[in-house]
Amino acid sequence: MITPSYIGRFAPSPSGSLHFGSLIAALGSYLRAHSLKGQWLVRIEDIDPPREVPGASDNILRTLDAYGLHWHGSVLYQHQRHQVYQDQIDTLIESDAGYYCQCTRKIIQTSGGVYDGRCGRLTPRLTQGAIRIRNQVKMDHFVDQLQGHVMVDKAFADEDFIIKRSDGLFAYQLAVVLDDAYQGITEVVRGCDLLEASCRQISLFTQLNFPSPDWLHLPLVCTQKGFKLSKQNHASAIDIVHPQASINAALTFLGQQTVDIDAVDVMLKQAVAQFDLSTIPAQKEIIISTRND
């Protein structure tokens, strides 16, 4: 494994092409890692086949390459890690640190909207359904490198959350923690849509005795308040033929100086040299006009 002092990553899901919002996360994490002379890894988070688009993984990698965002080492695919996830779940079940749950969303909603742990108190224990972790850490706050002190609702923090879905798919919270620990990620740089999820991930890191990384959540690209640019909202793919304009637009969004150079690799080298974390807007979202990148 690679073991420099700083290891960052970009971890897209293959549910479509990279759009401008994706570029912000990719470029922001790339600049942060390279400005600290660290490693920048790429992981394809392909654990949700119903949401995946055929060929999207390869398209994402080609786009990163076209933008000069070259990663260190080999790409890690989550679908190759299923046994690791299952082994961890088996260990949790065997030690009664995890349990099966058959509560539907409707049941949870009628009991106040937050899961109350009822299935974990049943005797005998259930043997099928979704699997939840007995949340022993219940982290409700952390310090973000950009957003500052972050607090989440205590009921959310206390909840025993799902680590394997009832349809047999592994939950994001489990997979991302095991993969970040495996790859030695020292700081997670991503969008603010996952700000609250960090508390659950910190809880899981701690409960599984893994060192928790630092956190840096970038502003989301929104077309209106609360409406982020995303694949689900049919955001346009970024231009891979002429990436320079999109790179400079992303630098501007991140509060960085633009670079007036045609060669993409040279652009990025200059952007790394002048990267300044303190000039990134400490906002959860930034509204832009509809654009086609």
Binding residue numbers for Zn(2+): 101, 103, 115, 119
Q: Which residues of 24-46 are buried (b: 16+ CB within 10 A; e: fewer)?
A: bbbbbbbbbbbbbebbbbbbbbb
Can you say which residues are annotated as belonging to the binding site? Answer: 9-13, 45, 101, 103, 115, 119, 172, 190, 231
* Nearest alpha-carbon partner for 177 in 138, 150, 203: 203
Dihedrals φ, ψ of 246, to 5°?
A: -65, -40
Dihedrals φ, ψ of 40, to 5°?
A: -125, 115
DSSP code at position 256: P
Contact in structure between 282 and 146 (CB atoms under 8 Å) = yes
Can you say which residues are annotated as belonging to the binding site for ATP? Answer: 231
* Nearest alpha-carbon partner for 132 in 148, 121, 146: 121
Six-digit token pair at 214?
């630092």
* Nearest alpha-carbon partner for 129 in 71, 75, 168: 168
Tally of CB atoms within 10 A around 277: 16
Greatest CA span in the chain, whole angstroms?
Answer: 67
DSSP code at position 48: -
- Map residue 240 onto helix, strand or coil: coil
Contact in structure between 67 and 20 (CB atoms under 8 Å) = no
Distances 96 to 91, 132, 136, 203 between C-alpha atoms, Å: 9, 11, 12, 17
Six-digit token pair at 196?
């609250």
